A and B are shown apart, each in its own frame.
Chain A
Amino acid sequence: QQQVRQSPQSLTVWEGETAILNCSYEDSTFDYFPWYRLFPGESPALLIAIRPVSNKKEDGRFTIFFNKREKKLSLHITDSQPGDSATYFCAAQTGANTGKLTFGHGTILRVHP
């Protein structure tokens, strides 16, 4: 059973548009939700993260919207740039500082100039 699901599998937007990446989860004990970004040829790096005490987390052009009741969250990238083209992984974790992250399959984002 896939604990963390992401959709769409791939997404193409034009430069300047808002890209919306979706994520849902099964385990209600998850209490930390990071998004990692993977550029081709590089290693994944933390982009932004949220805890269920908040329903929104913003960092520049990146915003996480979180719906605890529906066990869903989404990453919005406003004013998308070609340099945002990458694979975005939603992940979830129970407990602090365990690093036992469960990752989704990722969404491949392509931003056309």
Chain B
Amino acid sequence: AQTIHQWPVAEIKAVGSPLSLGCTIKGKSSPNLYWYWQATGGTLQQLFYSITVGQVESVVQLNLSASRPKDDQFILSTEKLLLSHSGFYLCACSDRTSGNTLYFGEGSRLIVV
């Protein structure tokens, strides 16, 4: 079974400061990777997805960027945080064996002040 490790678990950051959230997947080879965002009380919004190393597709523009430097690693970042970036960020993966099933990490809670 795969494991999805996200870091940090939680952060409080100032508006205008940079951010980097990480996600590492173990137990799956060449997975599809996704970043989801949930505003407080809101829906799960897909931000980015990647089907292979070095290739990332943006789904929603939120002044964030994502990169996939390794097959098992997915990074979400921005150079300047906005108040609206607050929320819960979830990394997820899927692959051919899991079909359409998404497996989520435990998430990173971000509070921008």
User: Across the interface, do A34 and B43 meet the contact criterion of CB distance under 8 Å?
Assistant: no
Cβ distance A57 to chain B, nearest Cβ, rounded Å: 14
Q: B81 interface residue, CB < 8 Å from A? A: no
Bound-state Cα–Cα, A49 to B107, Å = 23
User: Across the interface, do B32 and A97 meet the contact criterion of CB distance under 8 Å?
Assistant: yes
In the complex, per-residue mask of B75-89: 1 if CB is within 8 Å of any chain A CB, else 0: 000000000000000
Q: B101 interface residue, CB < 8 Å from A? A: yes
Bound-state Cα–Cα, A46 to B98, Å = 11
Q: Given A89-B43, A103-B43, A104-B43, does the pair A96, B104 have CB atoms closer than 8 Å?
A: no
Q: Is the interface of B mostly helix, strand, loop or mixed?
A: loop
Cβ distance A103 to chain B, nearest Cβ, rounded Å: 4
Bound-state Cα–Cα, A106 to B106, Å = 18
Cβ distance B9 to chain A, nearest Cβ, rounded Å: 11
On chain A, the number of residues with a Cβ less than 8 Å from chain B's Cβ atoms is 23
Bound-state Cα–Cα, A102 to B25, Å = 23
Q: Given A43-B90, A44-B90, does the pair A99, B102 have CB atoms closer than 8 Å?
A: yes
In the complex, per-residue mask of B100-113: 1 if CB is within 8 Å of any chain A CB, else 0: 11101111000000
Q: Which of A73-93 contact B (CB under 8 A)?
A: 89, 91, 93
In the complex, per-residue mask of B37-50: 1 if CB is within 8 Å of any chain A CB, else 0: 00000111110010
Bound-state Cα–Cα, A49 to B98, Å = 13
Q: List 21 A-B contacts (CB under 8 A).
A: A32-B100, A34-B100, A34-B101, A36-B102, A43-B104, A44-B90, A46-B101, A46-B102, A49-B100, A49-B101, A89-B44, A96-B99, A97-B94, A98-B32, A99-B32, A99-B49, A99-B102, A101-B44, A102-B46, A104-B43, A105-B43
